[in-house]
Structure 1
Amino acid sequence: MSRAIAGTRTILRSRSCQGTRPATLRVRASTAVEQKVSDTKFADYKPKTAFFFPGQGAQTVGMAKDVVAEVPAAKELFERASDILGYDLLAVCAEGPKDKLDSTAVSQPAIYVASLAAIEKLRQTEGEDAVAAANVACGLSLGEYTALAFADAFSFEDGLRLVKLRGESMQAAADAQPSSMVSVIGLDAEKCAELCEAASKEAGPGKGVRIANYLCPGNYAVSGGVEGCEAVERLAKSFKARMTVRLAVAGAFHTDYMQPAVEKLREALAGTKIVTPRIPVISNVDAQPHSDPDTIKDILSRQVTSPVQWETTLKTLLEKGLENSYEIGPNKVIAGTMKRIDKKHNFVNITV
């Protein structure tokens, strides 16, 4: 086992948009996480160097091919992953086909493994001290699992099994009920929420939308019914949005459209050994670090239906004195979000 994963070891800004009810499911904004005494270990954390891990959408055909050829520990990770998954993950990453790699069930394990392979690349090129420098970790949606694996909260294998189940369950939920996501560019959060309300009203009951990903200023992902997403696209210009982009995802992630995946995840998490992370890992649900294993399990089960508080996470880290950041894994999405908040922040990409 590689040393990188050895062991392999609340103020919220979300607003729920009215009229968003897929069938009997209610799309709701996330709520604060109840804090236990055992969950306060990282209450006064002081970030200096952060490792950020990407989420679904960062995948590209050809990723990981070079790192596996150059870094033996990365190759080992892909070999172990293929044994668990039952197919050659590296072949899909390196050769595609694109539609297979882009499927939720495959892209999530692929990004998880590729990102941890990038840790091995950093270790080989920059040394152990470069890896050990991280004193806080974060992940965008799926990337939260990668961050927890890096922080030794669970093993590489257990994390991969959870990610596999997460991807398959989210894909099944998306297949069961048509839904979509749209990126809205050029509006602040309040104005984007107003756009969601107008689009939900126009789409009608059970077809509305809400902000699902507070990515960075001027860039928010809206999620919900297909009709609601279409209404967002029609109305965006009247709200002074610069543009909208329909996202190539299976469905309305981070809303109650994903509720069917929650119970499967909750059951799997209950049977997974999770321990206190060795460094703070910031939750997508409330932008706070958690140390209590049961709280972490609860948060991970809630995460698929809760808005991602990424903008709050980045701003909080910077306010607390964050000095250096690394994006670990395919693509450079997270670096782009940070530059929208602080153009001068020291940011390094370790890509695969």
Structure 2
Amino acid sequence: MRAFIFPGQGSQKVGMGAELAAASAAAREVFQEVDDALGQKLSAIMGEGPEDTLMLTENAQPAIMANAIAVLRVLEREGGISLADKGDCVAGHSLGEYTALCAVGAFTLADTARLLRLRGLAMQAAVPVGEGAMCALLGADIDKATALAEAAAQDEVCEVANDNDPGQVVLSGAKGAIERAVAMAKDLGIKRGVLLPVSAPFHCSLMKPAADAMDEALKRVPPQPFRLPLYANVTAASCTDPEAERLLLVQQVTGRVRWRESVLAMKAAGVDRFVELGGKVLGPMVSRTVEDVTVTSVVTMADIEALAKEL
């Protein structure tokens, strides 16, 4: 069985999509459609920067999605590959869940771009800049990370945001609590804690205003039936019902990204091939989480051509 997976924030970089756009009309059409939907030349920011503009959450989220969907469209059109025929399920990390839903027909490309722009703006607006923070814990399993979050909180928000793989967990919350967590990490047997260069504390209870904004947006633009099951971040379980998924997307804004558990659940369901489209971030996480699987990350035209031959 094969799962197609889609990366989240942090995989953006200046130059993303430029090679694909130069080589493929299918990719150019994706970038143009996203530009038109947003009323902005996002593709130019992706290709040329400036970096600080691309890194803004409201730009990074639709950019990462557009890049992954461009890879998918080139694969489908020029490789003659149908995701629904070649895949058994999909999943995405944080905003990547929206990309996955776009890939299987739950959202149009234009609606996905607009939803992610709104999501990025709402998440940024939920907490004043400088009041929230996130840190990555290296060499930490979920139990150690949870214990550290509880110890560092001291009446402030400090929560597990991403359970990425057996040795990497991300905490999110109030700046003071996250700084305490970094300082205390080694005391709890964690290799080290590293502050992340993010502009807001994603996936924690401080994001409640953003969850409310997405609840309203997803009532106006709800997911439609999708062609393959999706493993949702907040449940680490397969979902096929559009209304259930709408509610899960709202919960995802404040909820934990249970990526490690999602990978384990897909493996338990029989998935032995994972294909990451549009990034090279999730593949290593999968490899650190499960054994006896094939992991492929697809970004360039050469990657796409190689995958098309394999499929």
| TM-score using structure 2 length | 0.92
Contact 1:71 / 1:120 at 8 angstroms: preserved in 2? no
Residue 267, structure 1, aligned to residue 216, structure 2 = yes
Residue 209, structure 1, aligned to residue 158, structure 2 = yes
Q: Distance in 2 between matches of 1:338 and 1:214?
A: 12
Which one of 228, 240, 244 corresponds to residue 279 of structure 1? 228
Query: Structure 1: which 5+ runs fail to align?
Result: 1-47
How far has the Cα of 1:195 moved from its partner? Answer: 1.0
- Look up the SS of the partner of 1:322 in the other structure: coil
**Aligned position for 1:319:** 268
**Aligned position for 2:65:** 112
Contact 1:119 / 1:131 at 8 angstroms: preserved in 2? no
Contact 2:174 / 2:201 at 8 angstroms: preserved in 1? yes
Which has the larger helix fraction? 2
Query: Structure 2: which 5+ runs fail to align?
Result: 301-311
Q: Distance in 1 between matches of 2:183 and 2:18?
A: 41
How far has the Cα of 1:129 moved from its partner? Answer: 5.0
Identity score, percent: 34
Higher relative contact order (Cα pairs below 8 Å, separated by 6+ residues): 1
Residue 95, structure 1, aligned to residue 48, structure 2 = yes
Give the alignment of 1:1-352 within 5 angstroms: 48-124=1-77, 126-129=79-82, 132-175=85-128, 178-201=131-154, 205=155, 207-330=156-279, 332-352=280-300
Q: Distance in 2 between matches of 1:176 and 1:84?
A: 27
Q: Distance in 2 between matches of 1:309 and 1:93?
A: 28
Tell me the alpha carbon deviations over residues 205-246 of structure 1, each in whole angstroms, 9 at most, x when there is no partner.
2x2311111111010000111001110111111112112221
How far has the Cα of 1:123 moved from its partner? Answer: 2.7
- Look up the SS of the partner of 1:348 in the other structure: strand
- Look up the SS of the partner of 1:87 in the other structure: coil
- Which segments of structure 1 move beyond 4 Å, counting only runs of 4 or more? none
How far has the Cα of 1:306 moved from its partner? Answer: 0.5
**Aligned position for 1:17:** none
CA change 1:225–1:96 in 2 (3 A) is same
Q: Distance in 2 between matches of 1:320 and 1:293?
A: 21
How far has the Cα of 1:104 moved from its partner? Answer: 0.5
CA change 1:125–1:84 in 2 (3 A) is closer
How far has the Cα of 1:118 moved from its partner? Answer: 0.9
- Look up the SS of the partner of 2:274 in the other structure: strand
The count of residues paired between Structure 1 and Structure 2 equals 300
Q: Distance in 2 between matches of 1:209 and 1:143?
A: 24
Q: Distance in 2 between matches of 1:151 and 1:130?
A: 8
Contact 2:162 / 2:256 at 8 angstroms: preserved in 1? yes
How far has the Cα of 1:120 moved from its partner? Answer: 2.0
Tell me the alpha carbon deviations over residues 191-211 of structure 1, each in whole angstroms, 9 at most, x when there is no partner.
11111111113xxx2x23111
- Look up the SS of the partner of 2:14 in the other structure: coil
CA change 1:267–1:129 in 2 (3 A) is closer
How far has the Cα of 1:132 moved from its partner? Answer: 3.1
CA change 1:224–1:347 in 2 (3 A) is same
Q: Distance in 1 between matches of 2:129 and 2:12?
A: 24
Contact 1:282 / 1:290 at 8 angstroms: preserved in 2? yes
Tell me the alpha carbon deviations over residues 296-343 of structure 1, each in whole angstroms, 9 at most, x when there is no partner.
11111111000111111001111121121110013x110110111135
Q: For residue 287 of structure 2, what is the amino acid of its counterpart? A: K
CA RMSD of aligned residues (A): 1.5
- Look up the SS of the partner of 2:127 in the other structure: helix
- Look up the SS of the partner of 1:250 in the other structure: coil
How far has the Cα of 1:161 moved from its partner? Answer: 1.4
Contact 1:122 / 1:130 at 8 angstroms: preserved in 2? no
Q: Distance in 1 between matches of 2:121 and 2:157?
A: 25
How far has the Cα of 1:64 moved from its partner? Answer: 0.2
How far has the Cα of 1:93 moved from its partner? Answer: 0.6
Contact 1:123 / 1:131 at 8 angstroms: preserved in 2? no
Contact 2:272 / 2:292 at 8 angstroms: preserved in 1? no
**Aligned position for 2:309:** none
Q: Distance in 1 between matches of 2:237 and 2:291?
A: 24
Contact 1:174 / 1:250 at 8 angstroms: preserved in 2? no
Q: Distance in 1 between matches of 2:181 and 2:260?
A: 21
Q: Distance in 2 between matches of 1:256 and 1:177?
A: 17
| TM-score using structure 1 length | 0.82
